[in-house]
């Protein structure tokens, strides 16, 4: 086990490097960078002889309009070439691409994720600030999904073909067919003052007077705000896991070792939880890392927008739109690292559930 884990840990740096390099090359080829974003802002300021743009949050740069500019940047016509040169230096585009990439990798080795181009703050501070929202949505929705899906999937497998199996499958299919954001809008219409009831808040993770509440009041207020967004994410996420659990258990129940265990006099509970459970759960555990990363960091984007929750999903989306490259690459680096570590944790969980798995004999 130890040699296998060591090999997996040693594979993390080259994997991260490859992912960062590939995305860096794609970003370089994509049109519209941060300088073009500044040019677009300047293009909307008509009637001004000079334009002040705070593109880093820490200071102001003055641009004088000039007709002799020959820059290749889109939207830079009529802007002083000296101002564009200052922007290039400020954003680091005065250096060749390979130097910028090596500098970024060197910073990431020190866990320095850099400074945002347009927010005037470090990427680490932004991630820490947005993390409570994403962790709250991801943690509670994942917990509910697994608490509902695994028992329901097991019961459906045991009652395969029954009325219970048929009508729960109908509910699961309907839940899978309805997108999470559409269900979120329905919840708002029904329960958040849309057209009917006004039971739940529609904005933020906590109330404005949160600091004045008692401990019990803070807990109640926190879950009061989370109820609708977590429910919206759970409805759209439990269907796949339920069917996966059911099919996995069905496949194991009909295997020869189950028939042998029953022939030896083992009870149904011993057969189900002593033999079938650990084998059937392996395929579910295998997909857990990808599911966690998706739910925590990418699956909540539309939910965050609909319920006005400022989390990591919204941060990443806005960074892509604004071409805020330090935020884009910083979040990519962090999420990829977390995903790789979760994959190793899932392998360890494999061994805990089924000690027959021998990692030392696996070849990468």
Length of the chain: 364
pLDDT confidence of residue 356: 67
Using a pLDDT cut of 90, give the percent of the chain over it: 6
pLDDT confidence of residue 313: 79
Across residues 61-89, what is the average pLDDT?
A: 59
CB neighbours (10 Å) of residue 79? 23
d(CA 67, CA 231) in angstroms, rounded, equals 56
Pick 72 or 354 by higher pLDDT.
354
Across residues 217-228, what is the average pLDDT?
A: 90
Of 153-162, 260-269, 282-291, the poorest mean pLDDT is in: 282-291
Question: Under DSSP, is residue 178 helix (H, G, I), strand (E, B) or coil?
Answer: coil
318-339: pLDDT as tens digits: 888 888 889 989 988 888 888 8
Identify the band that residue 299 occupies on the pLDDT scale cut at 50, 70 and 90: low
Element (H, E) at 224: helix 215-253
d(CA 289, CA 277) in angstroms, rounded, equals 20
Pick 197 or 288 by higher pLDDT.
197
Q: 352 to each of 87, 208, 279, 292, 348, how far by Cα in Å?
A: 54, 45, 12, 19, 6
Closest CA to 242 of 170, 142, 172: 172
Across residues 96-107, what is the average pLDDT?
A: 88
d(CA 71, CA 25) in angstroms, rounded, equals 22
Q: What is the DSSP letter of 210?
A: G
Asked if pLDDT for residue 89 goes beyond 60, the answer is yes
12-67: pLDDT as tens digits: 899 999 999 998 888 877 777 777 777 776 665 443 334 344 444 444 444 444 44
Tokens of residue 255, six digits: 């295997």
33 alpha carbon, distance to own chain's centre: 24
Identify the band that residue 137 occupies on the pLDDT scale cut at 50, 70 and 90: confident
Identify the band that residue 315 occupies on the pLDDT scale cut at 50, 70 and 90: confident
Across residues 249-277, what is the average pLDDT?
A: 80
Burial of 244 (0-12, 13-18, 19+ CB in 10 A): middle
Q: Radius of gyration of the chain from Cα atoms? A: 26
pLDDT confidence of residue 14: 92
Of 55-69, 171-185, 273-287, 294-308, the poorest mean pLDDT is in: 55-69
Tokens of residue 39, six digits: 């040019």
Q: Give Cβ neighbours of residue 284 (< 8 Å, ≥ 6 apart).
A: 150, 241, 244, 245, 248
Q: What are phi and psi of 349, to 5 degrees?
A: -65, -35
Angle of the 312-322 helix axis to the 325-353 helix axis, nearest 10: 140
Using a pLDDT cut of 70, give the percent of the chain over it: 80
State the chain's mean pLDDT as an integer.
78
Pick 330 or 354 by higher pLDDT.
330
Identify the band that residue 75 occupies on the pLDDT scale cut at 50, 70 and 90: low
d(CA 286, CA 304) in angstroms, rounded, equals 28
d(CA 330, CA 342) in angstroms, rounded, equals 18
353 alpha carbon, distance to own chain's centre: 27
Element (H, E) at 173: helix 163-177
pLDDT confidence of residue 21: 92
Across residues 150-167, what is the average pLDDT?
A: 89
Q: What is the DSSP letter of 53?
A: E
Q: What is the pTM of this model?
A: 0.72
């Amino acid at each position: 086990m130890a040699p296998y884990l060591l090999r997996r840990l040693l594979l993390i740096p080259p994997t991260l490097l490859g992912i960062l390099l590939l995305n860096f090359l794609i970003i370089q080829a994509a049109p519209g960078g941060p300088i073009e974003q500044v040019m677009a802002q300047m293009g909307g300021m008509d009637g001004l002889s000079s334009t002040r743009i705070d593109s880093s949050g820490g200071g102001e740069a003055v641009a004088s309009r000039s007709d002799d500019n020959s820059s290749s940047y889109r939207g830079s016509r009529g802007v002083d070439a000296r101002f564009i040169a200052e922007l290039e230096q400020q954003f680091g585009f005065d250096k060749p691409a390979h130097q910028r990439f090596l500098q970024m990798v060197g910073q990431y080795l020190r866990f320095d994720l850099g400074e945002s181009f347009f927010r005037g703050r470090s990427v680490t501070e932004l991630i820490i600030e947005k993390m409570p929202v994403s962790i709250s949505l991801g943690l509670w929705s994942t917990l509910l999904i697994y608490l509902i899906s695994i028992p329901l999937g097991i019961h459906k497998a045991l009652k395969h073909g029954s009325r219970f199996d048929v009508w729960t499958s109908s509910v699961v299919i309907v839940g899978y067919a309805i997108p999470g954001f559409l269900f979120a809008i329905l919840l708002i219409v029904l329960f958040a003052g849309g057209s009917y009831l006004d039971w739940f808040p529609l904005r933020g993770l906590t109330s404005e007077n949160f600091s004045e509440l008692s401990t019990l009041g803070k807990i109640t207020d926190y879950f009061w705000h989370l109820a609708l967004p977590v429910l919206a994410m759970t409805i759209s996420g439990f269907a796949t896991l339920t069917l996966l659990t059911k099919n996995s258990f069905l496949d194991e129940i009909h295997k020869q070792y189950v028939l042998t265990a029953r022939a030896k006099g083992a009870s149904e509970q011993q057969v189900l939880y002593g033999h079938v459970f650990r084998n059937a759960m392996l395929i579910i555990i295998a997909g857990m890392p990808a599911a966690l990363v998706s739910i925590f960091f990418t699956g909540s984007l539309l939910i965050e927008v609909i319920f006005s929750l400022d989390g990591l999903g919204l941060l990443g989306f806005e960074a892509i739109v604004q071409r805020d490259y330090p935020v884009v690459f910083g979040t990519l680096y962090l999420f990829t690292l977390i995903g790789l570590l979760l994959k190793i944790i899932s392998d360890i969980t494999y061994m805990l559930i089924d000690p027959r798995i021998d990692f030392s004999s696996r070849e990468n």
